[in-house]
Amino acid sequence: MTIVRSPLVTEFETTLEAAQGEIARFDSWAALASFACSLDLNPVARSGLPLDDIETPRSVEAIADRPVGVTQAALAVAETGSLLLVEPDPLDRYVSLLTRHLIVAVREEDIVPTLADAFGWLAAQPRAAAYATFVTGPSRTADIERSLTIGVQGPSRLTAAILTERRP
């Protein structure tokens, strides 16, 4: 069976991979949960996701340095390979900042062409903008000697989990 991808999805995948992010495709939340559990027997997830058998921790201590965390993006940006996270709950933000491998679910239909489109979406939802973060690839930082380090100030591995199921 041939998978037909829109040019927008293909551009997003290409730009995210160029930023050292990974792509995985799933036809359901259950398949995504199975993938997360195959990476770690005890992954954590932000609240409100339809992920059976995956813990939603209620303390920073229960989240920090966990091997795998799962969250959801409001949008993805094709031109930059960025994922837009909107997480007003601090514990949800901890999942995206303190786990070592972050899996970010995004629906195929929520991939927009440009950053301008994403900022337009944010402008229409001012409360969301207060808690918005753009993530493009794993966390990286460099010192004055240009020594690049991955994963110091966030996840060392990022997987965009593209959900192909449509909203009901």
Q: Which CATH architecture has domain 7-163?
A: 3-Layer(aba) Sandwich (3.40)
Helices H / strands E in the chain, number of each = 5, 11
How sure is the predictor about 138, in pLDDT bands with cuts at 50, 70 and 90?
Answer: confident
Q: What is the pLDDT of residue 146?
A: 62
23 is written with which tokens? 């792509």
Task: Please list, residue by residue across 16-34, b when 16 or more beta carbons sit within 10 angstroms of its beta carbon and e when fewer do.
Answer: beeeebbeebbeebebbbe
Residue ranges of the alpha helices (H) in 19-109?
Answer: 29-39, 90-98
Q: What is the pLDDT of residue 150?
A: 47
Predicted TM-score (pTM) of the model is 0.89
- List the one residue out of 85, 102, 105 whose CA is nearest residue 39: 102
What proportion of the chain, given as a percentage, has pLDDT over 70?
A: 86
124 is written with which tokens? 């229409």
How sure is the predictor about 73, in pLDDT bands with cuts at 50, 70 and 90?
Answer: very high
